[in-house]
């Protein structure tokens, strides 16, 4: 499928596609975090949100999505621990 757009519309399409990728990747990371730490999805989301993991994964998506999900979960675990979380 090809999308041909010019000007501001091209920026909008690119932004929407990138946002969609970030959302999908964030959901996958939360799911993997929950599995590793034996949490429900909701518990994992609440923990990651409270201790800045969700903010980290969305801010650093460009670098993080190049890593394996295991490495991303390692990073999330460390970021949350650095921000007061108790899971190691």
Condensed to tens digits (0 to 9), the pLDDT of residues 14-57 reads 566 688 899 999 999 999 999 999 999 999 999 999 999 999 99
Crossing angle for the helix pair 69-82 and 8-36, to the nearest 10 degrees: 80
How far apart, in Å, do the first and last CA atoms of the chain sit? 43
Instruction: Please report whether residue 1 resides in a domain.
Output: no
Q: Assess if residue 2 is contained within a domain.
A: no
Show the domain range for 73.
8-82
Instruction: Please check whether residue 31 lies inside any domain of the structure.
Output: yes
Rg (CA), the chain: 15
* pTM as predicted: 0.81
Say if 58 falls within a structural domain: yes
User: Count of domains in the chain?
Assistant: 1
Q: How far, in Å, CA of 88 to CA of 85, rounded?
A: 8
Between 16 and 87, name the one with better pLDDT.
Answer: 87
User: Do 58 and 23 form a contact (C-beta atoms < 8 A)?
Assistant: no
What is the per-residue pLDDT for 16?
62
* Helix (H), strand (E) at residue 11: helix 8-36
């Amino acid at each position: 499928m090809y999308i041909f757009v010019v000007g501001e519309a091209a920026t909008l399409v690119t932004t929407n596609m990138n946002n969609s990728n970030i959302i999908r990747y964030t959901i996958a990371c939360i799911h993997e975090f929950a599995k590793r730490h034996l949490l429900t999805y909701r518990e994992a989301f609440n923990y990651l949100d409270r201790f800045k993991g969700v903010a980290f994964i969305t801010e650093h998506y460009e670098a993080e999505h190049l890593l394996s999900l295991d490495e991303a979960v390692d990073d999330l675990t460390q970021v949350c621990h650095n921000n007061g979380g108790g899971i190691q």
